[in-house]
Amino acid sequence: EAQVTQNPRYLITVTGKKLTVTCSQNMNHEYMSWYRQDPGLGLRQIYYSMNVEVTDKGDVPEGYKVSRKEKRNFPLILESPSPNQTSLYFCASSYGGRDGYTFGSGTRLTVV
Amino acid sequence: GDSVTQMEGPVTLSEEAFLTINCTYTATGYPSLFWYVQYPGEGLQLLLKATKADDKGSNKGFEATYRKETTSFHLEKGSVQVSDSAVYFCALSAPGANSKLTFGKGITLSVRP
């Protein structure tokens, strides 16, 4: 089944404790992206990648890092999480961007 | 910059009612337009899309037509069901924009039996 898999689904952590949210897709898509969803703000892009070793900032990149060492994986790294990063995070992938993205099921992160 | 504006919600309808959710956009060039749906506790699913002016996207009884002259992509369904209760997002992807999706704020639809 074609899908984007994110882990974990839920995560509660403390301020400053580094964490990684994993994302993997099995569709051989070149484009991958991370979004965060917040009430009243909708979805905003954090980082994107157009291919292996090609990544760039989206609209709200502060406090996040990403890497794209393999085509299928695009982890999101929070080096020192803060409470304002409490959010619902989605990973998404696409063959051609303008064709539309396939989204993962989301990771609900709470930073206390 | 690019932007998407959706009508304010939430929207509550009775089963079998007609649905229209308005969406207008601002973008340079000719963006692709999308409607995504998010069911409770789930990720976003692509509902339908249109890639050029006058295209009509359709899926599961939902339709939307790409209207360049009014920069709109309104979502319609002739007869909603309880199972259509979800959050609906209008989005665009503009050419040369790193393939980023720009989303509207979403609207919650509740359909009562």
**CA Rg value for chain B:** 14
With a pLDDT cut of 70, the percent of chain B lying above it is: 98
Summarize pLDDT for A72-94 with one digit per residue, the tens. 999 999 999 999 999 999 999 99
- CA–CA separation, A69 vs A71, rounded Å? 7
Structure tokens at B42: 């789930």
Please say if the pLDDT value at position B97 is more than 70: no
Which of B98, B104, B105 comes nearest A48 by C-beta? B98
Can you give the pLDDT at residue A98? 74
Summarize pLDDT for B54-81 with one digit per residue, the tens. 999 999 999 999 999 999 999 999 999 9
Task: Give the mean pLDDT of chain B.
Answer: 93
- CA–CA separation, B85 vs A11, rounded Å? 27
Q: Residue A44: which pLDDT band, with cuts at 50, 70 and 90?
A: very high
Task: Give the mean pLDDT of chain A.
Answer: 94
Can you give the pLDDT at residue B112? 97
Closest A-chain CA to B52: A98
**CA Rg value for chain A:** 13
- Contacting residues for A62 by C-beta, under 8 A, at least 6 apart: none
Please say if the pLDDT value at position A101 is more than 60: yes
Least Cα distance to A20 among A7, A33, A9, A34 occurs for A7
Closest A-chain CA to B40: A105
CB contact under 8 A, B101 and A33: yes
Please say if the pLDDT value at position A14 is more than 90: yes
Averaged pLDDT, B93-101: 76
CB contact under 8 A, B51 and A33: no
Q: Which residues of B touch A41 (CB under 8 A)?
A: 105
Please say if the pLDDT value at position A96 is more than 80: no
Can you give the pLDDT at residue B94? 83
Please say if the pLDDT value at position A97 is more than 80: no
- CA–CA separation, B15 vs B18, rounded Å? 9
Of residues B24 and B7, which shows the higher confidence score?
A: B24
With a pLDDT cut of 90, the percent of chain A lying above it is: 85
CB contact under 8 A, A90 and B95: no
Q: Residue B1: which pLDDT band, with cuts at 50, 70 and 90?
A: confident
With a pLDDT cut of 70, the percent of chain A lying above it is: 99
